[in-house]
Structure 1
Amino acid sequence: MQKLLASKSAVPLLITIGFFVLWELVCVVFRVDRFILPRPTDVALSLVNNFSVILMNSLQTFYTTLAGFAVAVAVGMVLGMLVGASPAVYRGLYPIMVGLNSVPKVAIVPILVIWFGIGTVPAILTAFSIAFFPIMVNVATGLATIEPELQDVLRSLGARKWQILRKVGLPRAMPYFFASMKVAITLAFIGSVVAETVASDLGIGYLMMSASARFDVPLVFAGLVVIALMGVAMYEVFAFIERRVTFWATRSAEAAY
């Protein structure tokens, strides 16, 4: 089992290394100007030379992302329970949520700036607005998958609707919930960076815009690498929690390891 896990972790690492080696070779062989596409070595050098600045801005982005994501989890869970448990709420609320989610988030950032000013709040709200919808949909889907026959049996045994929701519906929705969290956290990073590029004086998005204005392309790519690393790290954190909490919903025995 340990050899299997080692091989599974080695394959993504080897592919990632191969990707960066190929990137470096393409830039060298075709003599691509660093202004167009910097080499991975240039990006790594920029990360080292601007470490303190990148760290400060990445912590700001990480904070706004987690704050927006936390609000998205709370709101998405509540709305998902309401939508999934009540057909009337579904018919009344779901179309509005779909419409709001269809609005490009970059279009709402100027409105948030008018309301709250430039800074952290628009980034948090943008991260929330882009992350809550997957959570709401997946929780509602999990609750909606309760078989009518099972509900009839539980009602015949004296269970009330909220008891069925709490003891059967919520556990049934947990795999959907954790799956949506892995998607939502990556979307939350996108929302934070979009807001920071438009209306912020701190964060990775702001750093990338400042670097692009100075034509410092390696620093722009360094910001992209940092965002990617944070996204992968948080995805793996929630994937680990998912394997530990909802292992019973997975057929494969390897998911528990």
Structure 2
Amino acid sequence: MTDRTIERLMPWAVTIGFFVVWEICCRLFDLDVFILPAPSDIWREAIKFAPELAYHSAQTLYTTLAGFGLAVVVGVALGAAIGSSRLVYRGLYPVLIGFNSIPKVALVPILVIWFGIGTVPAILTAFVISFFPIAVNVATGLATIERDMTDVLRSLGASRRDILLKVGLPRSMPYLFASLKVAITLSFVGSVIAETVASNKGIGYLMLSASSNYNVPLVFAGLLVLALLGVVMYVAAAMLEMRTSAWAFRGSDVVS
């Protein structure tokens, strides 16, 4: 078995081993389902409520992707503005830090007052919790452009706009994708927070309803669905990163 084959099988082996150990511990210590359900109990409940899980998962995925897409647009635009202008940096960066310091769950009641209970607060919560790392990383990528390179490009007739679009933003791609892989998981957190507080659909709502009925296996099934969705979106971002900015990792262990 080659090293590459072992690397590809390792995530599956670790994941399966984790669930096997979980199942053995639950059976060995005779843990109550109300305390910690075994994976087999969770699987049976997931099969039983498969239509509900599918419906609410689709809703959560929709709100997450909508909020994440909005975060990408706003985050890249803000990051470009902050990273390319010292004046904008001094004006906006303190505001962004202060806004990011606010617990996002505290914003949900305000969003409910403004937009009512439903999908919009979930989308906006996913957005506000995930756009900050994107903006910061894009700004950092632009700020790392060497001054000598900028001076040479200007001496060759490149405008500030040309430097930003043709050098700055491509140079920021590794920083952008690093933030996207963080932001997509944060988007799920934002969606679920809003769904548990102010929604009548979504995985967060389903988990809240299940916990109120003391259906702990269904709660864990919802958690595992969220974990699966997060992994899928992370892998999608990583694959897109390798297709668009593999040059940044050339010669490193990441692509070897």
The within-5 A match list for 1:80-159 is 80-159=79-158
- Secondary structure of the residue aligned to 1:34 is coil
**Separation in 1 of the partners of 2:158 and 2:8?**
46
**Separation in 1 of the partners of 2:182 and 2:251?**
22
Cα RMSD (Å):
1.3
* Equivalent residue number for residue 161 of structure 2: 162
> How far is 1:255 from its partner?
4.6
TM-score, length basis structure 1: 0.97
* Equivalent residue number for residue 79 of structure 1: 78
- Secondary structure of the residue aligned to 1:246 is helix
- Secondary structure of the residue aligned to 1:159 is coil
* Equivalent residue number for residue 239 of structure 1: 238
2:216 counterpart letter in structure 1: V
* Equivalent residue number for residue 64 of structure 1: 63
**Separation in 1 of the partners of 2:95 and 2:122?**
23
> How far is 1:144 from its partner?
0.4
Q: Deviations over 1:100-150 (max 9, x none)?
A: 111111110000000000000000000000110111011001100000111
Consecutive unaligned residues of structure 2, counting only runs of 5 or more, are: none
Q: Deviations over 1:129-182 (max 9, x none)?
A: 011011101100110000011111111111111111111101100111111111
**Separation in 2 of the partners of 1:4 and 1:133?**
38
* Equivalent residue number for residue 203 of structure 2: 204
> How far is 1:222 from its partner?
0.2
Q: Deviations over 1:214-240 (max 9, x none)?
A: 000000000000000000000000100
* Equivalent residue number for residue 34 of structure 1: 33
Percent identical among aligned pairs is: 60
* Equivalent residue number for residue 13 of structure 1: 12
TM-score, length basis structure 2: 0.97
> How far is 1:256 from its partner?
5.0
Q: Which consecutive segments of 4 or more residues in structure 1 shift more than 2 A?
A: 2-6, 251-257
Consecutive unaligned residues of structure 1, counting only runs of 5 or more, are: none
> How far is 1:12 from its partner?
1.2
**Separation in 2 of the partners of 1:27 and 1:87?**
57
Pairs aligned (count): 256
**Separation in 1 of the partners of 2:54 and 2:5?**
31
> How far is 1:254 from its partner?
6.3
Q: Is 2:36 the counterpart of 1:52? A: no
* Equivalent residue number for residue 252 of structure 1: 251
> How far is 1:90 from its partner?
0.4
